[in-house]
Chain A
Amino acid sequence: MTLAEKILAAHCGKDRVSPGQFISAKVDVVLSNDITAPIAIREFKKIGVKKVFDPAKVIMVADHFVPNKDIHSAEQAKILREFSREQGSIFFEVGQMGIEHVLLPEQGLVVPGDVIVGADSHTCTYGAVGAFATGMGSTDIASAMATGEIWMKVPPTIKFVYHGKAPKWVTGKDFILHTIGDIGVDGALYSAMEFTGPAIDKLSMDGRFTMSNMAIEAGAKAGLFRVDNKTEAYLQNRAKRPYTVYEADKDAEYAQVIEYDASKIEPQVAFPHLPSNTKPISKVGDIKIDQSVIGSCTNGRIQDLKIAADILQWQRVHKDVRCIIIPGTQDVYLEALRAGYIETFIRAGAVVSTPTCGPCLGGYMGILAEGEKCISTTNRNFVGRMGSTKSEVYLSNPAVAAASAILGRIANPEDIKE
C-alpha cells in the first residue's frame, strides 16, 4: 500500500484498502474557518445532535476576514466564537490566531498518521507531516463534527520523484509550480500525490508545507511526504498527541510515477489566470508590477520571511510598488521581529500586517484595481482572485516576490545588486 492507503486503512479498521474503495474513516481533526464554519454550524444543527463528537478534535480558526473587516464578517466570526464556547471546542481568538494552515502544524495540533478533514481546500497542507489531510465543504464538516467519521473514496496515488540538487533561489514553491505546470490544474484530480526523492530529503519543513499546500491546485485530494528526521525534529516539543508513523510499502502500487531533475528547475512564475500557466524566471520578460504580496498559507512561514528579508535588506521597495508582507501566525511574527526581519521590511518601505488570509482571496488588505498587476507568493491566480476581474496575479516564491518589489518588475533575485 502507498502512504495514503496505509493511513486510510488504519482509520477504517481494515488491513487493506485499494483505490476506488468507499470507506468511512475516523477523523483526528475537523477544521473550519470564518467563511465555511457558519454553514457547517447551520448544517450541524440540522443533523440534530447536541454535542460535537470530541471537542478536543474540533478546531475553528477565523482567519479569512479577521480582524473583522466589516459588520458581516464580524457576525460570521461571532458564530464561530459562540459555537466553540458552547461546545468547549478549540477556537483561536484574535491575538492567538494565525492563518489556519500555518497555525495548526506550528501548534502541534496535526501529527503524522492523522486523518484530517477541513472546510478549506488548502487543508492538504498537513500532508507535509505525513498526515492524510484533505479539504471538503461545510456539510461534510458538519457531518464529521457530529459523527467523528467521514465517507471517502480511497484515491489512487501518483508518486513524484525529485532527483538532484535544487539551484540557488529554488524552493518548494518552485518544485510544486513546476509540477503543476507540467501536469495541469487537473493533472492529479481525485489522486493523492506522494513527494519523494533526494531533493525532497533536503527540502526544509517550510518548503514541504508549501508543496503539500498546493496539491489541490493540481486537483489532488492530498499531498503527502514520508516522515524523516526533519519531520521528527519539527514535531519535537510541538506535537500535542502521540502519533504513528506510516511508510509506503516497497511494492506499493502507484497509478503513475513522475520524475524531475531538480537541478534543472528555475524559480517559477505562474502567469494569469491558472497556477499551471508557469514559466521559468528566465522566460518571463518585462512585466511591470503594482503590488507584491509575501505571505499566505502557502508562503507565510519563517523561512519565507527570512528569504524576503535577506533580499530586502538595505534595499528600497520601488516607488511604484506596494509591498505587503504578512507573517502567517503570531509566533512567526514574533520570530521575524526578534530576527530583525520586520525592521528590514519597514525600512525598505513594505507594510507588515497581522496574520490574515486577506489579500490572497481578494478579501481585504491589498485589493487590486482594474489593470493592476501583482506578484504574489499565494496559491491562486484565477480571474478576479485578488480584486478587479481586470487585474492580474502572478504566483512565485518569496525571493522572486521580494526582488520584484525592489525592481518594480517581475525579477530574478539574481538581478538584485548588493
Chain B
Amino acid sequence: MKLSGKVFKYGANVDTDAIIPARYLNVSDPDELAKHCMEDIDTEFVSKVSKDDIIVATTNFGCGSSREHAPLAIKTVGVSCVVAKSFARIFMRNAINIGLPLLESAEAVDDTDAGDVLEVELESGKIVNTTKNQTFTAKAYPEFMLELIEAGGLVEYTKRKISAKG
C-alpha cells in the first residue's frame, strides 16, 4: 500500500495529553475525539490537516497515557501514518492494533521539514521525500507484528485465533 501526504512536524516526547487532552475523554466517539487532535500543542492542526497527511516527529512519540483515543484521533482526523525516530511502547501497540501505520526512521525525520510531501510504501518501508527528492528506509517490523497488520488489526487477528481453536 502506498501512502502520500504533506508533513506536519513535531519534536520529542509528543505525549498523549497533547495528542488528545484528557478533558475530552468523557466520550469515546472517534469523530468527536478527532475534532481535538493535537489541540494542546498545535491549535491549527485540525483546521489545516487533509486526508492522508503524515505526522513526523522525533523521539518517544505517544508517551504517557495508555489511551487508545490518541491513535484513534490521529487516524480518524485522516492522517495516513506517523513517521518518528522512536515511539512510546503502548502507543505503538495501540496504533498497530487499530491499523494506524507507524514507521521508524531517524534519517527520514532529520531530513524532512513541515510541509514536505512524503510517499510511503508500507510493505517495503520505503519513504520518499518528493519535495527534496530523497529516499529512506524505515526499520522493518518483526514477523509477528506483520501478521497482526496483515490480519487488519488485533480484533481480526483474535477472531481468527478463536475460530482456529474451534
A-B contact pairs, 15 of them (CB 8 A): A35-B22, A35-B69, A36-B67, A39-B69, A47-B155, A48-B159, A119-B66, A135-B90, A143-B154, A143-B158, A146-B162, A147-B158, A185-B60, A382-B18, A384-B21
Residues of A near B40 (CB, < 8 A) are 383-384, 389
Q: How many residues of B contact A (CB 8 A)?
A: 43
Surface stretch bound by B, among A67-75, A170-178, A248-256, A348-356: A67-75
Residues of B near A274 (CB, < 8 A) are 13
Residues of B near A123 (CB, < 8 A) are 66
A293 to B28, CA, bound (A): 28
A139 at the interface (CB under 8 A from B): yes
One of B21, B90, B98 near A136 (C-beta < 8 A): B90
Contact indicator per residue, chain B 134-154, by CB within 8 Å of chain A (1) or not (0): 000000001010001000011
Q: How many residues of A contact B (CB 8 A)?
A: 52
In the complex, number of A-B residue pairs with CB atoms less than 8 Å apart = 137
Inter-subunit contact A361/B17 (CB<8 Å)? yes
Write the nearest CB–CB distance from A18 to chain B, whole angstroms.
14
A42 at the interface (CB under 8 A from B): yes
Contact indicator per residue, chain A 359-395, by CB within 8 Å of chain B (1) or not (0): 0011100000000000000001011110001000000
Residues of B near A362 (CB, < 8 A) are 17, 21-23
Contact indicator per residue, chain A 16-52, by CB within 8 Å of chain B (1) or not (0): 0000001000000000000110110011001111000
Residues of A near B86 (CB, < 8 A) are 186, 189
Residues of A near B1 (CB, < 8 A) are none
Inter-subunit contact B64/A35 (CB<8 Å)? no
Query: Which residues in A have some Cβ–Cβ distance to B below 8 Å?
Result: 22, 35-36, 38-39, 42-43, 46-49, 64-65, 69-70, 72-73, 76, 118-121, 123, 135-140, 142-143, 146-147, 151, 153, 185-186, 189-190, 216, 219, 221, 274, 361-363, 380, 382-385, 389
B129 at the interface (CB under 8 A from A): no
A35 to B66, CA, bound (A): 10
A151 to B86, CA, bound (A): 21
Inter-subunit contact B158/A47 (CB<8 Å)? yes
Inter-subunit contact B155/A185 (CB<8 Å)? no
A43 to B25, CA, bound (A): 17
A142 to B97, CA, bound (A): 11
Residues of B near A121 (CB, < 8 A) are 64-66, 90
B126 at the interface (CB under 8 A from A): no
B63 at the interface (CB under 8 A from A): yes
Inter-subunit contact A380/B159 (CB<8 Å)? no
Inter-subunit contact A361/B88 (CB<8 Å)? no
One of B63, B68, B144, B158 near A137 (C-beta < 8 A): B68
Which 6 pairs across A and B sit closest by C-beta, in order of nearness? A137-B94, A137-B68, A72-B26, A361-B22, A186-B60, A139-B97
Inter-subunit contact A151/B144 (CB<8 Å)? yes
One of A64, A185, A361, A383 near B63 (C-beta < 8 A): A185
Contact indicator per residue, chain B 54-77, by CB within 8 Å of chain A (1) or not (0): 000001100111111101100000
A114 to B22, CA, bound (A): 30
Chain B residue with minimal CB distance to A385? Answer: B17
Check A43/B155 contact, CB under 8 A, given A36-B66, A362-B22, A389-B40: yes
B161 at the interface (CB under 8 A from A): yes
Inter-subunit contact A39/B158 (CB<8 Å)? no
Residues of A near B154 (CB, < 8 A) are 139-140, 142-143
Inter-subunit contact B64/A186 (CB<8 Å)? no
A382 to B12, CA, bound (A): 12
